[in-house]
């Protein structure tokens, strides 16, 4: 889990932070999208989020999953795999901050 944060930080350091991160929160499944046979999504689509801070962005996504009425299966998967540890470590090594302000651009 820590290696994922450290690998991400090495890319950010190499590019001097000139990166915009975009997360598309649709077809949310308990399985990684790298899985060749993932479980069918059982959550509604949440939306698209963007940030210059990858840690803040992922924390916002996690918080939206936790606040979703239909997020129980994904929350259970995150917690059973200690999924928040990557974000904790990413913040510790200076990749970003878990603090954010969520700004909606919906009309």
- C-alpha distances (whole Å) from 59 to each of 10, 23, 85, 97, 107 are 20, 11, 11, 9, 24
Q: Are 77 and 32 in contact (CB under 8 A)?
A: no
pLDDT at 32: 80
Three-state DSSP state, 27: coil
The token pair that represents 38 in the structure block: 């993932």
Q: What is the C-alpha separation between 82 and 88, in angstroms, rounded?
A: 11
Cβ neighbours, 10 Å, residue 69: 7
Rg (CA), the chain: 14
Q: What is the mean pLDDT of each run of 10 residues along the chain (107 residues)?
A: 95 94 94 84 95 98 97 95 96 98 87
Q: Where are the domains of the chain?
A: 2-92
pTM of the predicted structure, to 2 decimals: 0.92
Three-state DSSP state, 24: strand
pLDDT at 106: 81
């Amino acid at each position: 889990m820590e290696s994922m944060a450290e690998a991400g930080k090495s890319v950010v350091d190499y590019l001097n932070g000139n990166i915009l991160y975009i997360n598309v929160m649709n077809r949310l499944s308990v399985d990684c999208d790298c899985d060749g046979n993932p479980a069918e999504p059982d959550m509604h689509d949440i939306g698209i989020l963007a940030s210059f801070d990858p840690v803040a962005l992922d924390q916002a996504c996690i918080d939206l999953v936790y606040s979703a009425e239909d997020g129980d299966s994904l929350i259970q998967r995150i917690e059973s795999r200690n999924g928040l540890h990557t974000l904790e470590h990413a913040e510790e090594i200076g990749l970003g901050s878990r603090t954010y302000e969520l700004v909606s651009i919906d009309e």
